[in-house]
Structure 1
């Protein structure tokens, strides 16, 4: 289960993944005894970073990912060349 366009996967309670493509957003379902909802983060080979630092509903998380995708084209990208340094207003 997952969203191809937004680049996320959903791991429900009791499920496991043999491999997660680095950079994929992942929802991990929480136990109902601990309040339910999902943890949302981004998985890489050697770490998992929380995107939202509190449990969210699946809907809240998907809406957040959609807002990231809407803003991404405006971000421009990272420039590592000190001779080509510039600041750009959004």
Structure 2
């Protein structure tokens, strides 16, 4: 599974996700017979929430997480000049 420093886990074919935290990112590897790739989403107490509606590659999912991390620090920013009233 994923390393301790990463912000996600990878569960390979034949493995189980023994422990998880609420909202943790997880990649579940799909069987080769079904096209391979990974199901990617978040774990919650009673469900696994898919982030994408179709299987993805590990590289695409990690790229998504990197992009998400790069904008996370700007979520609380608000630019008053961006939204002006037309007078």
TM-score under structure 2 length normalisation: 0.80
Which structure shows the higher strand fraction? Answer: 1
> Match of 1:54, SS?
coil
Return 5+ residue gaps in structure 2 as ranges: 83-87
* Cα shift at 1:5: 4.9
CA distance in 2, matches of 1:5, 1:66: 14
- Could you say which residue in structure 2 is the equivalent of 1:65? 65
Counterpart for residue 74 of structure 1: 74
Q: Which runs of 5+ in 1 are unaligned?
A: 78-87
Q: CA–CA distance in 2 between the matches of 1:18 and 1:57?
A: 23
Partner residue in 2 for 1:18: 18
Distance in 2, matches of 1:40 and 1:74, equals 24
Partner of 1:56: 56
What root-mean-square deviation, in Å, do the aligned CA atoms of Structure 1 and Structure 2 show? 2.0
Q: Answer with 1 or 2: which has the greater Rg.
A: 2
Distance in 2 between residues matched to 1:17 and 1:57, nearest whole Å? 19
SS in 2 for 1:55: coil
Deviation digits for residues 17-50 of structure 1, max 9, x if unmatched? 2221111100000011110000100101122111
Superposed structure 1 runs of 4+ greater than 4 Å apart: 3-6
Distance 1:21 1:65, change over 3 A: same
